Amino acid sequence: MPPAARVLGPPSGAPHPVGTAVLTLLFSLLTAAPPAVAQSGGWSLAPLGDGRPAFYAEGAPGAVLRDTVSVTNAGRTAVTVRLRGTGVPAVFARSGVRIPARTRAEVPFTVTVPQGAAPGDRTGAIVARDTHGRTATVPVRLRVGGPALAALTVEHLAVHGDRITYELVNRGTTVLVPKLAVRADGLFGRVLDRAPRTLPVRLPPGARRTLDEPWPGRPVLDEVRVRLTVTAAGGASDTAGTSAAYVPWGAVAGGVGAVAAGVAVFLLRRRGHLRSGEGELAGAVS
């Protein structure tokens, strides 16, 4: 068997084409696994050394991490493959590699952790493709380091008939699964009280999601104050409130409709006068 071909980039002493500020990858020795094998053609793709089933990298935003991928050609004819990264920003010493028959090529590459990346795990892959369209893939698991911060806000709360709409924004650096509690108080007491429940959403860092809360039993005639409280693991919490007036304008024709409208106006105005009187009394006392 001829000696293995080692594709190591530029000659000794020359700058590395993917940069010199690099950190060594932390290898994941999870379980022994065979290398990723192309669909056909007798060549395979794998991390260099120790039978690793995947690449594993860990670093803070801005760190440059380095490892080596090997392409083994067990066939009787030479094969040419092109390398690329998916899901992770991988740069190879050579993206196009020709491997003679019964030879292994070793190709260094780097992965740069994006600046501003939120702490947590990301997944990607190193993919090789030959001139016949056959491919092989090795997973890449990237862990971004840094402090974990759980924070969210409730925004654009509004009431539209029998529906409450709002937006949740993840202002932190961790994935959030929020819980929602809803309360509404009318002129004559509480008209809605929903205990905290987990919402069927996952909010990655920076994500904004528009949601709605059905309210089929909403009042027909009332002025209500709606209050939403959202919480999540890690201490994330926010509360928002808004007001809505329910008046059955046109709901009933003729005199009954006029009476209902008059009652509504009376109640709303009376509440306003009571509030105003309370404010004047407080001012006089002080």
Answer yes or no: do 105 and 132 share one domain. yes
Residue 96's SS3 state is strand
Amino acid 120: pLDDT: 78
Domain closes at, from 144, 176, 201: 144
Answer yes or no: do 135 and 156 share one domain. no
In a domain, 80, yes or no: yes
Query: Would you place residue 264 in the very low, low, confident or very high pLDDT band (cuts 50, 70, 90)?
Result: low
In a domain, 211, yes or no: yes
E strand or H helix that includes residue 280:
helix 254-285
Answer yes or no: do 137 and 27 share one domain. yes
Domain closes at, from 101, 116, 144: 144
Amino acid 99: pLDDT: 95
pLDDT tens per residue, range 41-68: 689 999 998 788 999 988 988 899 999 9
Q: How far apart are CA 164 and CA 130, in angstroms?
A: 54
pLDDT tens per residue, range 111-141: 998 887 778 788 899 999 999 999 999 999 9
Answer yes or no: do 53 and 94 share one domain. yes
Amino acid 5: pLDDT: 39
Residue pair 38/44 in contact (Cβ under 8 Å)? The answer is: yes
Q: Which of 49, 24, 23 is nearest to 35 (CA)?
A: 49
In a domain, 11, yes or no: no
Domain closes at, from 144, 168, 183: 144
Answer yes or no: do 266 and 233 share one domain. no
In a domain, 7, yes or no: no
Enclosing domain of residue 196: 147-246
Amino acid 147: pLDDT: 78
Q: How far apart are CA 245 and CA 161, in angstroms?
A: 10
Sign, CA torsion 262/267/268/270: positive
Q: Which of 3-12, 85-94, 272-281 has the lowest mean pLDDT?
A: 3-12
Q: What CATH number is attached to the domain comprising 107?
A: 2.60.40.10
> Could you tell me the pTM of the whole model?
0.51
Answer yes or no: do 161 and 93 share one domain. no
Residue pair 112/85 in contact (Cβ under 8 Å)? The answer is: no
Residue pair 226/234 in contact (Cβ under 8 Å)? The answer is: no
Answer yes or no: do 254 and 237 share one domain. no
pLDDT tens per residue, range 157-207: 999 989 999 999 999 888 899 999 999 999 999 999 999 999 999 998 889
E strand or H helix that includes residue 134:
none
pLDDT at 32 over 80: no
Amino acid 145: pLDDT: 82
Amino acid 26: pLDDT: 34
